[in-house]
Amino acid sequence: MTDTLYTAALDPDDMRGAVRDFPQHLATGWERGEAAESFGLDAGPFDGVVLCGMGGSAIGGDLVRGLVEPTASVPFLVNRGYSLPGWVGERSLVIASSYSGGTEETLSAFAQAQERGARLLVVTSGGEILDRATADGLDHVVIPGGLQPRAALGYSLGVVLRVARALGLVELADGEVEAALDAARQRAERHDQDQDGNPARDLSARWVDALPVVYTGVGLLEAVGMRWRTQIHENAKHPAVGNVLPELDHNEIMGFESGPEGVLSRMQVVALRDADDHRQVAKRFDATRDLVQDAVGGWTEATSEGDSRLGRMLSLVQLGDAASFWLAIRKGVDPTPVETIQQLKKTLA
C-alpha cells in the first residue's frame, strides 16, 4: 500500500481544494464573463488589446494570448508593469486584471489608460480598482474573492476567454468549452489522489532535491511553462527555471556542455509537448533531449491531452498546478502563504 503524504495540518487554507476546484472556478469565470458580450466589444475598432496585471492576475491573459495568436486580428499583449506601451491610446482596449483590486502596478497602468482615453474593462474581486471603475462607470466583471490570486486563475481565465470570444479574437463554441471542462473535472479528480499512479504526485517526487527546468515550444504552451515555474515558486517555495524552443537551442543548450557537474546532475528537465508543435520544434525536442539528457539528473516529457487547443492547454496547466502542490506537501511546506512577497510589499510601502 502506498503511504499517504497529505495531512490537513500542512494545508490549513486548503490549497488542495483550490487546485481540485479549478474546473469549477473556470466554469464560474466563463459564466461571469457573459457580461462582456453586452459591453459592445468588437475587435474591429481596436488597434490592440492590452491586459494589465501581475502574478496570478496576469497569467490568465498569457494563456489567452497563446490561445488566440493564430486567429487574432489585432495584437493581444500582456503588460506587467507600471506604464503602458506608447502606442496605447483611444483605439486600444485595456483589460485591468487585479484579483485583489489593489495591485499597485495595475492601478498605475489603469490610470494611464484613463488619461489616454483607452477603452477600459476591469476584472477583479473588489478593492480600489472596482471602486474606481464603478465611480467612473467603466465596464467591469466581478469574480469571487477569498483565494490567493494564483489559486483564482480559473475565474480570471474564464472571464478573459469570454472577452476574447466577444472580441472575435478566437472561435470558441460553447460545446468546446463544456467538453474541455468535462475533461478538466476528470483530471482534477485524478490529480487529487494521494497515491502512486497520480501523475502529478509522481512527478513531484523528482523535484524534491532537484532544480526543475521547464521547456516548451513557442506558442500555445509558452505561458503554460511560465505557470509551472511560478506555481513551483509560490506553492512549494522552490526554485524553477525554464525556456522556450527553438530559442534555447540557439544559446542555452551550450550551458550543458561543460557546466558544473554538481549543478547539472541536480537539474530535472520537464519537456511540455503538444500535438500542434511546429514540426521543426518537435524535432528540436527530440534532438535536444538526445544531446543533454546524459548531463542532467533526468528528462521527463508531458504531452498535452484533448481534442481542442483549449483542452490541451488546460491539461498541462492542471498537471503543473497539482505537481507544485504535491511538491509542497512532500517538502512539508504550507502551499498557501507567500510571506517573502508580503514582506517585500511592506518594505516598498
Q: Which residues are catalytic?
A: 234, 250, 345
Q: What is the dihedral of CA 325, 327, 329, 331, to 10 degrees?
A: -150
Query: Grid coordinates 498546478 are at which residue?
Result: 321
State how far the alpha carbon of 347 is from the alpha carbons of 98, 234, 342, 344, in Å.
21, 19, 9, 5
Query: Grid coordinates 471603475 are at which residue?
Result: 133
The DSSP code for 100 is: S
User: Which cell numbers in the block locate residue 327?
Assistant: 511538491
Quote the Cα angle for 319-221-328, to 5°.
30
- Kindly state the greatest CA–CA separation across the chain: 63
State how far the alpha carbon of 30 is from the alpha carbons of 50, 181, 238, 303, 317, in Å.
20, 11, 32, 26, 17
Compute the distance between CA of residue 115 and CA of residue 169 in angstroms, rounded to an integer.
26
Burial 97-136 (b: 16+ CB within 10 A, else e): bbbbbebebbbebbebbeeeebbbbbbbbbbbbbebbeee
| Backbone angle region of 126, left / alpha / beta, with phi > 0 → left and psi within -120 to 50 → alpha | left
Quote the Cα angle for 313-315-316, to 5°.
75
Q: Which of 98, 187, 198, 92 is nearest to 145 (CA)?
A: 98
